[in-house]
Amino acid sequence: MALVKSMAGDYDEKVIQARIDSLVSENPVLMLSFTTCPFCVKAKEILGSSKYTIVELDVDPDGKAIRAELGNKIGRTSVPAIWIDGEYMGGCNDGGVIYSGLSGLQRDGTLKSRLEAVGAL
């Protein structure tokens, strides 16, 4: 995480943390992504035509800083990083203690109901 933080350069941590919190709270389904990441591409395929907000960190002017602050928020800086209804789901194939990412939610049959619950389908 220190390397990612150093690559981000100087930025206002509180401003970036507030932007992440705002993105998570204002978007029923949010994915932080890189345009060329194969796991991000796969996660986009899984979400298909559902309604979701995507922030491409390799394009966004604050992308490096957002990625650095992900380390503080979710304990990792890898993408994709996906939230549904404000709850961190993990990435494409991996997640935190509770969730195993989008692939796991799709596999266990709960992804569709979660997306329906927030009006994304």
Q: What is the 3-state secondary structure (H, E, C) of the chain?
A: CHHHHHHHCCCCHHHHHHHHHHHHHHCCEEEEECCCCHHHHHHHHHHCCCCCEEEECCCCCCHHHHHHHHHHHHCCCCCCEEEECCEEEECCCCCCCCCCHHHHHHHCCCHHHHHHHCCCC
Residue 91's pLDDT is 93
Q: Based on the structure, what is the number of domains in the chain?
A: 1
- 48 is in which domain, residue-wise? 2-117
Q: What is the structure's pLDDT at 39?
A: 95
Q: Model confidence over 44-58: pLDDT tens digits?
A: 999 999 999 999 999
Task: List the CATH number of the domain containing 55.
Answer: 3.40.30.10
Residues 57-107 pLDDT 10s: 999 999 999 999 998 899 888 999 999 999 999 999 886 556 678 999 998
Q: Percent of the chain scored above 90 by pLDDT?
A: 76
pLDDT tens digits along 4-22: 787 888 999 999 999 999 9
- Looking at residue 94, what is its pLDDT? 82
